[in-house]
Amino acid sequence: MSYMLMGATDTIIAGRASATDLAGLAVGTAFANTLWFFVTGVIFSVTPIVAQLFGAKKYKEIGKKLREILWIAALLGFLLAFIIYNFDILLNFLPIKDSITGVTNGYLKAVAPGLAFITIFTCLRCYSEGMTLTKPIFIIAFSGMLLNIPLDLIFVYGWFGFPELGGIGCGVATSIVAFSMMIILFCYIAISKNYKSTEPFAVFTPPSIKTTKEVIKLGLPIGIGIFIELSMFSGAAIILSILGEVVVAAHTVAINIASLFFMVPLAIGLASATRVGNLLGASNPKQAKTASFATILLCIFGALINVVIILTLGAKIVSLYTTELPVFELAVSLIIFAAIFQLPDGIQMGALGSLRGYKDTFIPMILLLISYWFFAMPIGFYLTNYGFGSPLGAKGMWFGMIIGLSIFSVLSILRLKRIIKKHLRIKSSKPHQLLHQ
């Protein structure tokens, strides 16, 4: 929630600067977030790796793995920063207004260093979470979110004599916050007794080919899966960008609100990856099954609460994001879709989190590809531009995204059931093998 509130702060403050600043920020974050989450998905492999080692009580091996994976995180982070900084080469070929791309280009150059820092932070975060130490991450992330508020105000509006940068200022603020969070977490892990048993920074460890292969094998499908999911949102922003600043701004507000509430099932799904990994590491697949299905039920419950809140307080929440009446009215009409969005999105996150705990990432990636690129995007594009007799505009894109999410939520649960049965069958066959020996 802290991460999303940083994005919400950027959206609210840029939105109150102007619709152009908000639209430019929206396009910039669509590209930056899609590429960053791809890299982050690869780093997410740290959580199940550490969780299973932690369940098996192999503490020193955890520290060794961390040091080896930090090399990968640093390389991916700085490669990503280089790509984002030079992204203006691609922007020039897109059918987006110059007023919007001017803000987008400035934002991407400002946020590029921060993406390298937050990638390294994510590696440390997943290491901590894999050991069930989630509170330090919360405190640092929440503090970063609070720091982001005054920094946004200073750089967007030019307070205290700083230049007034508009939406570009959000990128500057994000880079400062990301650097601060990375340094603080490094220092905390180095001095805290909670991590002492793993000896995280006790010795120098060079990069490992074996660990790199493990991370790529497990993390690349996660990264591609997240890229596929977020490319649906980025694609939606690009498809709608030709309809003008008001439509893009309203869509951005609605998707931001939907994403903010989605943090509840996302958190439960991430916890499940750790919990299932711990239980499998401790050779307890029956409890892993219980944790998996409890996760889905909790996600459904959380999603239903989100639906009620969004439908009840939707207009008031939208009013926080924009003061421009056309943007407000369109965003309020889209907020109903944001509420419906919660249920399939919550279910798929619960199943996906548990599957990561089982280290099952390749098939879910394929299912994401089918659901989003073969169904969500084509249906959304068609309904937006053609509809049933007349174009549906932004609403058509939301129909498409909801259909794609619903398909994936069903497929992911079916996959989870299959994987659970497989692990239970393996566990039940081991005693017979031992007896035979």
Q: Which residue has the tokens 């040091």?
A: 67
Residue 376 has pLDDT above 80, yes or no: yes
Instruction: Name the residue with tokens 């091996």.
Output: 61
Q: How confident is the model at residue 435 (pLDDT cuts 50, 70, 90)?
A: very low
Q: Where residue 77 falls among pLDDT bands split at 50, 70, 90?
A: very high
Q: Place 142 in a pLDDT band, splitting at 50, 70 and 90.
A: very high
Q: What's the whole-number mean pLDDT along residues 175-195?
A: 95
Residue 161 has pLDDT above 90, yes or no: no
The domain limits of the chain are: 1-217, 243-429
Q: For position 294, what pLDDT does the model report?
A: 93
**What is the distance, to the nearest Å, from the Cα of residue 397 to the centroid of all Cα atoms in its chain?**
20
Q: Average pLDDT for residues 87-93, to the nearest whole number?
A: 77
pLDDT, tens digit, for every residue of 269-294?
Answer: 888 988 998 898 888 889 999 999 99
Question: Is pLDDT at 90 greater than 90 in this prediction?
Answer: no
Query: What is the arithmetic mean of pLDDT over 210-220?
Result: 90
pLDDT for 85 beyond 50: yes
Position 146 scores a pLDDT of 95
pLDDT of residue 249: 81
Cβ–Cβ < 8 Å for 42, 220: yes
Position 428 scores a pLDDT of 67
235, 30 contact by CB (below 8 A): no
340-352: per-residue pLDDT in tens? 888 998 899 999 9
pTM of the model: 0.79
Residue 239: the pLDDT is 79
Structure-model confidence comparison of residues 183 and 243, the more confident one: 183
The string of pLDDT tens digits covering residues 408-427 is 999 999 999 999 998 888 76
| pLDDT at position 388 | 81
- To which residue do tokens 């498409």 refer? 400
Return the percentage of the chain with pLDDT > 70, whole number. Answer: 96
pLDDT at 392 over 80: yes
Quick one: pLDDT at residue 429? 65
pLDDT at position 106: 87
Residue 299: HSE in the Cβ half-sphere, 13 Å Cα cutoff: 31
pLDDT of residue 372 exceeding 60 = yes
Mean pLDDT of 148-172: 88
For range 228-257, the mean pLDDT: 79
What is the average pLDDT value for the chain, to the nearest integer?
Answer: 87
